Every structure is written in structure tokens, then in C-alpha cells.
Structure 1
Amino acid sequence: MNQVNIFNENVEAYEAWYEKYPEVYLSEVAALKEQFLKLPENIKGLEVGIGTGKFAQILGIKEGVEPSNEMASIARKRGLEVVNGNAEILPVKDLNFDFVLFVTICHLNSAKQAFKEACRVLKPKGSIIIGFIDKDQKIGKAYEENRMRSTFFRYANFYSVIQVTKLLKEAGFKDLEYNQTLFGNIEEIKEVQLPKKGFGEGSFVVIKAVKK
């Protein structure tokens, strides 16, 4: 079973996770918003891997690309414009967006190719924003250790901050900025956490970078 089928067949479980861990979700949103505040106003953005639209909706993103038909269907019901497609071959013309968002890159077939595609569809000096679980921190290590018991992470590829940084630079990005959240185990997080600059403590890291 490939990863798209996993998401097609487990949409309810995906949505239920956010209901079970609202403080985790909102902590991630807070970290993403901190980087979004650095962007100009009235700009056009795209979320790659928009899923059911949980992040796009709360962040004010109107458009997305999603390979799972079932996930995309829910995102459309939330009022989002979603095109079925893959991150590695975006069905988007060149130089079309001011920013591109990725959340949870562990499900990409090739992060390297996905970042190159993001660079292609971004306008000059456009920004990429990536939120992901750092495999070197507590939650990332737990996901890695328990992957065979997980519906969603069995076939995931987790990345370290150093790895993502290298891939972004190779794809044509510069001026990287970092923040982090999710300090502690998921079960321990009972209130929304404020993000901190940098990385190396929190399990969820957000990187913002600019197209060269």
C-alpha cells in the first residue's frame, strides 16, 4: 500500500488526531504564523500537500495541491481550491506564487525534487516555508521507533534540520530562518506553546527561506 492509499483510506483517523491533540496542532500553527508574519501582505500562496485543509484554512491560504482524492475532497468542502497532484511534479506554471508552504515533509517521495519544484513555481524572491518534525528531537525519535505500529508513519522519511537546510540550499534558496515548538512528548503538551527562535530543542521546526 503506497502512502496516497493510506491517506485515502484513513481520513477519519487523520481528522481525529487533530481533535485529540488540539494544543499540539495550535502550537504548530503558532510557529508557522510567526514566519508568515514576515511575509508581505496581499500575496498569493500555495500549500503543497494540503491534506484536508487544516493548516491552509487557519493560515488563510486559498490554494493547494494534494495527491489523495479523499483528503482533497474534505479540503474543498472547507472552501479551498485544490488540484490533485504530486509535490515532485507540481501542476502549476512557473513563477506563479509569492510563497509555498509544506507541512510534514516526511510523506514526500523526494524532498529534494519537491523543493526544486517549489523554487520553480515561486516568483523571484518568493519564500518557501516548511514545517516538519525534526528526527533528532523527542517526538521525531518516538515516531521513528514506533513507525511499524503507526498507520501514517510506517513509510515516512523523517529529516533532521541539517538535512532540510542542505536540500533547500541545493534547490536554490537562501536566507534561512528557523523557529521551533513542541517541547516535550505529545501526550505531555496540554497547552499551546509559544515558538522559540532557532532549533535543537523543539520537535516541530519551521524554516523560512527565500528564492535566490
Structure 2
Amino acid sequence: MPHTKIFDQNVEAYEQWYEDYPQVFESELLAIKEQFQKLPENLHGIEVGLGTGKFSVPLGIKEGVEPAKEMAALAVKRGISVVDGYAEQLPFGDLKFDFVLFVTICHLDNFKYALAEANRVLKRKGTILIGFLDKERSVAKQYIENRHRSTFFANANFYTVSRIQTLLKEAGFIDLVFNQTLFGLLDEIKEIQIPKEGFGEGSFVVVKATKK
């Protein structure tokens, strides 16, 4: 919950990051798209913690959840239907969606609760997709080292891939598939990077898993 105020007060700075690191953003987006392409077409899903809609719009996601009102207002202007709510208590009924996407798990209060909620709102055999910064790779280490002077990452919780694997399995997800991107430090990435399978090299990892 405390993260919401930080994002509401710094929308312009949030948007500026995407202007400063366009190749980083496009590389992350490409990795997520690669996982999306493995899904059937015309699925109904949401992004949880969608911010200003930077990922939802190019991914064609029309609906999602965002608790920061100023961020949500900008997402609405971009054509997203935004519901006020938190990942740990999603304002939807059971078995409603074909997929749920997370790209901001480091800012969640309790990711374990968020996974339980994602499982609840997903249809049987539904898909969860999670884009995250691997705690053991260079970009997350960079943010952790400089968190004392960071607007957005001062209280961020980063996860290792092994921790994500454990939490997903505990939450009732199977068939985990990984890809990765961001090979190098942020300021070194000047071209859009093609994602690789697996994990262990790139700082940004995307995992796709299926609800049992």
C-alpha cells in the first residue's frame, strides 16, 4: 500500500524512464510478447499493477488493476479499462480470466497473496505471466546498491528465479517456461535485444505458467 503514494506523486518521472531507456523497454516488451505468442488468440485477461498502461497498450490488454489513481488516469486516457484495487485482493470473481500478467512484482506488498489471488481469478488451465528483475543479475543489483537514492526502488522487493519457481508451485501453477533479456547494465543497452530461452544470463526474466 505505501508504494501507491510514491507512484501517484511521480507519474512524470515514471514516464520519463521509458523515454530515457527505450531499448530497455522494447527488449522487455519483446520478451513478454514472445511468451504471449504461445497462447491461443482472443483470450480475456488483465494486467495487475498496470501503472500508466505502458505494457498493456502494446500487448493489446484492455483491462487491468492499478491502485495509484494518477497512474490509472493516464492508463484510462490510453484506452485501458482500469479497476481500482490491489494485487493481494483482486476485485474480481472466481474463474474469470484466461490470463493474468504481472510486470511490477517488486512493488507488491505480498507477492505470495498476489499469486493466490491470480490463481483464484484464473479459469482452469489459465495462464499466469510474470516479468521480473532477477535479484541475482546486474540490473537488480544496480537498483539494490542505489536504493537509498531511488524514488521507485527504495522499498522494492526483488526475487531470485528459484524463489519465483517455489512460490508459483506453492500457489498451484505448473509447466513453467522461462525466457530472458537485458544482457548488460541499463546504460549499456543501446539496441533492442532478442530474448533467449531460460534464465541465468539476462536481468529481466519472463515466466509463463499454467493453473492446475
Do these two structures clear the TM 0.5 threshold for a shared fold by scoring above it? yes
Question: Residue 83 of structure 2 corresponds to which residue in structure 1?
Answer: 83
1:104 and 1:133 in contact (8 A); partners too: no
1:63 aligns with 2:63: yes
**Aligned equivalents of 1:63 and 1:3: distance in 2?**
21
1:132 aligns with 2:124: no
Question: Residue 182 of structure 2 corresponds to which residue in structure 1?
Answer: 182
Question: Residue 107 of structure 1 corresponds to which residue in structure 2?
Answer: 107
* Unaligned segments of structure 2, at least 5 residues: none
**Aligned equivalents of 1:210 and 1:186: distance in 2?**
31
1:180 and 1:203 in contact (8 A); partners too: yes
What SS class does the counterpart of residue 190 from structure 1 fall into? coil
Instruction: String of CA shifts for 1:96-115, please: whole Å, max 9, x gaps.
Output: 00000000210000000001
Question: Residue 48 of structure 2 corresponds to which residue in structure 1?
Answer: 48
Q: Superposed, which structure 2 residues align to 1:165-176 within 5 Å?
A: 165-176=165-176
Q: What residue identity is the alignment partner of 2:15?
A: E
What SS class does the counterpart of residue 54 from structure 1 fall into? coil
1:98 and 1:122 in contact (8 A); partners too: yes
Identity, in percent, stands at 66
**Aligned equivalents of 2:179 and 2:105: distance in 1?**
16
Q: Superposed, which structure 2 residues align to 1:112-127 within 5 Å?
A: 112-127=112-127
Question: Residue 155 of structure 2 corresponds to which residue in structure 1?
Answer: 155
What SS class does the counterpart of residue 43 from structure 1 fall into? coil
Q: What residue identity is the alignment partner of 2:8?
A: N
Question: Residue 36 of structure 2 corresponds to which residue in structure 1?
Answer: 36
* Unaligned segments of structure 1, at least 5 residues: none
1:47 and 1:56 in contact (8 A); partners too: yes
Q: What residue identity is the alignment partner of 2:120?
A: R
- Once superposed, which parts of structure 1, at least 4 consecutive aligned residues long, lie more than 3 Å away? none
Displacement of 1:2 = 1.9
Question: Residue 24 of structure 1 corresponds to which residue in structure 2?
Answer: 24
Displacement of 1:160 = 0.6
Q: TM-score, normalization: structure 2?
A: 0.99
Instruction: String of CA shifts for 1:112-162, please: whole Å, max 9, x gaps.
Output: 000110000000000000000001000011111111110000011010111
**Aligned equivalents of 1:116 and 1:39: distance in 2?**
22
Instruction: String of CA shifts for 1:70-110, please: whole Å, max 9, x gaps.
Output: 10000000010000100000001100000000002100000
**Aligned equivalents of 1:174 and 1:132: distance in 2?**
18
Q: What residue identity is the alignment partner of 1:65?
A: V
Question: Residue 13 of structure 1 corresponds to which residue in structure 2?
Answer: 13
Q: TM-score, normalization: structure 1?
A: 0.99
